[in-house]
């Protein structure tokens, strides 16, 4: 197998880099490269720039307004955009619910929702997990009762990411109780402005309002917002989860953070010896770099399978496990690279333009200050999208038949 890029692919990489240098707002890039807090307008603004270029749906089929780039092009774009400091595109619309609508929605739903997702006119969030139904998602209890032309939804969703900004939520709801618990689940699209919806914040360990509880009290949802068939939602949910777990891998962002780690390890902080001179620490950097390269190859295999219209298999779970572990390792090594200067946990330092007490020396204060919040935040990546322990069970069932 030749792992080198062809001249055409290198030309494509240059095109992506040139576009990012010309069109990515420097203020947004500075936030991403500095590990600082992004706001809604940063993420939406970048997607609108890509949409104007015709690149927002680079994974989408051309029939739905996408670029239909092949696996290598997608990988090159993710890596190059991340290295230039582009925000990661919000996955809930583009990479999660959109493929479900394409595969299982009717033409009216496709024409109604997909163009608005592509243009960043609607912000989507996910309604899957519930108290008592996280890793065991099929135990969900949120109910939707059909009354005429509407479903009346009652229940609670939790660990909902960025729902405070959302225009729409895609939800798994229980529409029947007979048979196995995986049966009787349906997939609904719900307007977040509908009366009866309450969003309550959950503040995470790093002090951020990133996740929420979402409550539904007699929420009337038009029956036309049902995806596919009633009581067949578990099939669509599994299809979506394959895309979610692959997206969690975050290979492009991890490559960017690997560069940042090496810069920190080479720095002389407070007159001390650069940690890159320590052989054991160099070994750890080399190990995570090799693991990231292997993950990239697995990701390209999965992207190729998607292009052939094959449902994601065990590769999706593998990507989720190793991708999340690599992200956590990178934050841990960055904390080690700066030593005691990584101890302060400054919530305010995550904001661009922070002018507080300096942390660190030798011009590294702005880089060091967000490290602790990032470390705390990345503890969650091995849990959401289905915990890594659950993913190992999935792999054993698919590969070993256990």
Alpha carbons within 13 A on the beta-carbon side of 291: 21
> Phi, psi at residue 248, to the nearest 5°?
-65, -25
Which whole-number Å values give the CA distances from 101 to 66, 161, 182, 189, 320, in the listed order? 14, 20, 20, 10, 23
Q: What b/e sequence results for 294-316 when a residue is b if at least 16 CB atoms lie within 10 Å of its CB, and e otherwise?
A: ebbebbbebbebbeeeeebbbbb
User: Cα–Cα distance between 267 and 264 in angstroms, integer?
Assistant: 5
First to last CA, the chain: 32
User: Cα–Cα distance between 10 and 15 in angstroms, integer?
Assistant: 9
Residues 6+ apart with CB under 8 A from 310: none
Owner of token pair 């690279």 = 337
- Residue 244 falls in the annotated catalytic set: yes
- Residue 113 belongs to what H/E stretch? helix 107-118
Total number of residues shown for the chain: 402
Catalytic residue among 80, 244, 257, 296: 244
Positive or negative torsion for Cα 363, 366, 367, 370: positive
- Residue 24 belongs to what H/E stretch? none
Nearest to 240 by CA among 126, 330, 324: 126
Reduced to 3 states (helix: H, G, I; strand: E, B; else coil), residue 284 is helix
Number of helices (H), then strands (E), in the chain: 14, 8
Residues that are catalytic = 244
């Amino acid at each position: 197998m030749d792992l080198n890029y062809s001249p055409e692919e290198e030309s494509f990489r240059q095109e992506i880099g040139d576009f990012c240098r010309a069109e990515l707002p420097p203020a947004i890039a500075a936030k991403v490269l500095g590990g600082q807090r992004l706001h809604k307008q940063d993420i939406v603004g970048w997607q609108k720039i890509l949409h104007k270029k015709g690149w927002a749906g680079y994974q989408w089929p051309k029939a739905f307004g996408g670029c239909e780039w092949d696996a290598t092009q997608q990988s090159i774009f993710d890596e190059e955009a991340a290295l230039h400091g582009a925000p990661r595109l919000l996955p809930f619309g583009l990479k999660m619910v959109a493929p479900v609508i394409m595969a299982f929605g009717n033409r009216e739903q496709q024409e109604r929702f997909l163009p608005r997702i592509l243009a960043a006119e609607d912000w989507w969030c996910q309604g899957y997990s519930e108290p008592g139904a996280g890793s065991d998602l099929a135990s969900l209890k949120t109910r939707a009762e059909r009354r005429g032309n509407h479903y009346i939804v009652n229940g609670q969703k939790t660990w909902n990411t960025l729902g405070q900004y959302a225009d729409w939520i895609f939800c798994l709801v229980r529409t029947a109780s007979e048979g196995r618990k995986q049966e009787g689940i349906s997939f609904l699209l719900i307007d977040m402005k509908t009366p009866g919806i309450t969003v309550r914040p959950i503040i995470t360990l790093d002090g951020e309002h990133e996740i929420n509880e979402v409550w539904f009290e007699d929420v009337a949802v038009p029956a036309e917002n049902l995806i596919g068939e009633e009581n067949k939602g578990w099939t669509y949910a599994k299809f979506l989860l394959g895309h979610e777990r692959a997206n969690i891998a975050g290979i492009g962002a991890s490559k960017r953070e690997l560069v940042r780690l090496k810069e920190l390890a080479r720095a002389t902080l407070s007159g001390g010896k650069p940690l890159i001179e320590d052989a054991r620490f160099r070994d750890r950097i080399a190990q995570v770099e090799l693991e990231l390269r292997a993950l990239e190859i697995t990701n390209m295999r999965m992207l190729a399978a998607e292009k052939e219209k094959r449902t994601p298999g065990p590769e999706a779970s593998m990507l989720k496990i190793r991708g999340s572990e690599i992200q956590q390792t990178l934050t841990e090594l960055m904390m080690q690279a700066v030593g005691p200067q990584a101890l302060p946990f400054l919530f305010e330092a995550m904001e661009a333009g922070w002018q507080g007490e300096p942390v660190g020396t030798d011009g590294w204060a702005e880089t060091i200050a967000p490290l602790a919040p990032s470390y705390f935040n990345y503890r969650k990546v091995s849990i959401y999208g289905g915990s890594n322990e659950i993913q190992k069970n999935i792999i054993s069932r698919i590969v070993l038949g256990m």
